[in-house]
Amino acid sequence: MNAHAQWIAYCGLTRKEIVRWLRIWQQTIIPPALTAALYFLIFGSFIGHRIGLVEGLSYMTFIAPGLVMMSVITNSYANVTSSFFGARIVSRNFEEILVSPMPAWLIIAGFCSGGITRGVLTGIITYLVASCFAGWHLVDPILTIVALLLCSTLFALAGMLNGLFARKFDDTAVFVTFVLTPLIYLGGVFYSVNELGGIWRTLSHFNPIYYLISFFRESMLGIDTGNAWLLVGIILIFTIVLFVLVHAMIVKGIRVRN
């Protein structure tokens, strides 16, 4: 395929993915906003005043970046997992994509772009909800955009990997229940890892989501983590590893060819 044909193929696949979740916007766009509002109402308003300041900020302000990140992660991940699993197992139209001249990297880019778009959009919506409760806090807009894109890309790839390994629909929920959700809640969304002691603080540094939350907090609130671009490098490494793994599986036909 020449560059023009690749661009057309990419746009077509991306458009299909975006239209798929836009059709059910009541299930894909509205719930993240309601969930964020409930978190702010319960944790921020009812509990936050008892906790006081965290890292020199009000508790409601402190948890805002974590909730934005949580929305980005869950939506970009879930979108690609459900879409790719459906194409591979349910409708089996992924076999038609495989016999096309589209290279593997273009297939990955098309599927992931739909999840990235949804993740970024829900992240922006969650931020707007957060601004209603905690006020406007955006110290570095450029760094925040970078954080949104990196986070959504990383978990779109993770969702595609889960979609590759899943043999039945229940398998798509196993990773979310037993791995992703614990990592999110133990990554410092609702508390400062700096306040932990001993082994728990050490273990937190092995949690990749901890670096995402720290990156979001530095870009949105200006909380110094030491080196923001070091966090970018760590996240990029995770992203590249996932891309290489997914690409290798598709090229070799693992879990995609009968």
Helix (H, G, I), strand (E, B) or coil at 53: strand
For 153, the enclosing helix (H) or strand (E) is helix 141-165
Q: How far is CA 170 from the centre of its chain?
A: 20
Q: What is the pLDDT of residues 138-150, one digit of tens each?
A: 888 888 888 899 9
The pLDDT of residue 10 is 92
Reported pTM:
0.89
Q: What is the pLDDT of residues 109-138, one digit of tens each?
A: 999 999 999 999 999 999 999 888 877 778
Question: Crossing angle, helix 141-165 and helix 228-252, to 10 degrees?
Answer: 30
Query: How many CA atoms does the CB half-sphere of 185 hold within 13 Å?
Result: 7
The pLDDT of residue 113 is 95
Q: Please provide the distance, in angstroms rounded to a whole number, between the alpha carbons at the two ends of the chain.
A: 25
Q: What percent of the chain has pLDDT over 90?
A: 29
The pLDDT of residue 125 is 93
Q: What is the pLDDT of residues 141-183, one digit of tens each?
A: 888 888 899 999 999 999 999 988 888 877 888 888 888 888 8
The pLDDT of residue 257 is 64
The pLDDT of residue 19 is 93
Q: Which residues pair with 54 in a beta bridge?
A: 57
The parts of the chain modelled with pLDDT lower than 70 are 44, 48, 224-228, 257-258
